[in-house]
Amino acid sequence: MTIATQKNSSRDKRPIDDQTPLLPKSKHEEQGSNGASFSGSVFNLSTTIIGAGIMALPAAMKVLGLGLGIAAIIFLALLTETSLEFLMRFSRVGKADTYGEVMGYAFGGVGRRVLQISILVNNFGILVVYMIIIGDVLSGTSSSGIHHSGVLDGWFGEQWWTGRTFILFLTTLLVFAPLGFFKRIDSLRYTSALAVALAIVFLVITAGITLIKLFSGGIAWPRFLPIVTDITSVWKLFTAVPVLVTAFVCHYNVHMIDNELGDPSRILPVVRASLAMCSTIYILTALFGFLLFGESTLDDVLANFDTDLGIPFSNVLNDIVRLSYAFHLMLVFPVIFFSLRFNLDDLLFSTARLDNCRFVLLTTGLISLLYVAANFIPSIWDAFQFTGATATVCLGFVFPGAIALRDPHGIASKKDKILSIIMIVLAVFSNVVAIYSNANSLFSKDG
């Protein structure tokens, strides 16, 4: 999940002693080389889309109900396709190789900087969510008011060394820091297939457990519609929007995949195939997760896998499900961290070369901040509400719509501009309501 938003003059910026570019060459630099395969591009974009957001989808389904939840996933997929089509069309006309260049053509240096800041907020929030989930899996969570055991305190009981703070510190020191200090993103390419395989393990086992319990009468069919009793419950429905938005935003990576394809006409079919596959995975995950746990579904559904599921080898399956996805997030973490570090450096030092000293300071500082944030934010729902309702919705829908409305090349039709206005209004309104609803809920709890 990486993005280059740098100007042409800063494309050569990299840590010293590197023999391989930190970012993929531009389209113009790669002319004459073999393009990536269609299936490989679909796989890469799908990997970009599927992340930690999938763990909160069952909770979003609990808020919206089965029918409205599935409809919302399909609607967001279609809206994402529209915004990506806008983005790539304006990239073609402006011969832009990155999202940042498209924003630069439309809104100048200010637009490019705003995009970079949005990427920083989005990626920082996503990485905090990853760490929270890993903490939930290994040490358990009490964000719902009831403690749900993690794998380690389930095995060894509650010890000081199975506590969340210490386990996250150990994971940061032994996993995130070593992976975060890789200077070349291609050094991480071998972990992608394993990361996806681990995510599929989670889905297959969850689906199998759910179907066994459903056919044996161990669980009831969940409600089809949301529970609406007053105006507050109506506003609460919008709290699912940032989670759904986060689950689909992949705009910061689509240019890199497009550059590797070689053939400009293939990127939209890749986008459609990826969105179709990811939507199917999202619907199945949300369906089986909500079906399995019903109204007891937690913000991070992995935390639900700490009880007896009522089937043979329940404890073993619980641990496999939780650990498989925790390891998946550990493998994806450095890819997003690379983008976070690069964009922060490019924002602060756009012309200076990234030397070893600054590389170490940025890496150490960012990992330390992520560790602190993951310990202070109790729930992935809270993190998604902030990043999903601000930076993520801008990256996915507000910026592409604004580019079409600005129309720097004079190619937008009247239909494009109407769709852009609708997309921006829907995105801004729903997320402002989500922020208000969550703030009101937090103040009510404090009261």
Q: Phi and psi at residue 190, in whole multiples of 5°?
A: -75, -10
Q: Are 2 and 45 in contact (CB under 8 A)?
A: no
Domain boundaries defined on the chain? 38-446
Output b/e per residue, 236-267; b: 16+ Cβ within 10 A. Answer: bbbbbbbbbbbbbbbbbbbbbbbbbbeeeebb
In the prediction, which pLDDT does 16 show?
Answer: 40
What is the Cβ-side half-sphere exposure of residue 44, based on CA atoms within 13 angstroms?
Answer: 24
Q: Which two tokens stand for residue 395?
A: 């990256």
Q: Which two tokens stand for residue 74?
A: 């399909």
In the prediction, which pLDDT does 24 show?
Answer: 42
In the prediction, which pLDDT does 39 show?
Answer: 76
Q: pLDDT by residue for the chain (447 residues), tens digit each?
A: 444 444 444 444 444 444 434 444 443 344 334 556 777 778 778 777 876 668 788 988 999 998 999 999 999 999 999 999 999 999 999 888 888 889 999 999 899 899 989 989 888 988 888 888 888 888 877 665 666 677 887 787 777 787 888 988 999 998 888 888 876 554 555 566 677 777 778 888 888 888 888 888 778 787 888 888 888 788 888 888 888 888 888 887 788 778 777 777 888 999 999 999 889 889 988 999 898 888 888 877 877 887 777 788 888 888 888 888 888 888 778 877 877 887 788 788 876 677 788 889 999 999 999 999 888 876 766 666 677 778 888 999 999 999 999 999 899 999 999 999 999 998 888 878 777 776 776 666 555
Q: Phi and psi at residue 142, in whole multiples of 5°?
A: -125, 20
In the prediction, which pLDDT does 9 show?
Answer: 41
In the prediction, which pLDDT does 5 show?
Answer: 42
In the prediction, which pLDDT does 369 show?
Answer: 93
Q: The whole model's pTM is what? A: 0.77
Output b/e per residue, 84-104; b: 16+ Cβ within 10 A. Answer: bbbbbbbbeebebbbbbbbbb
38-446 has which fold? Amino acid/polyamine transporter I (1.20.1740)
In the prediction, which pLDDT does 143 show?
Answer: 61
Distance, CA of 136 to CA of 125 (rounded, Å)? 16
CB neighbourhood size of 157 (10 A): 9
Distance, CA of 96 to CA of 255 (rounded, Å)? 9
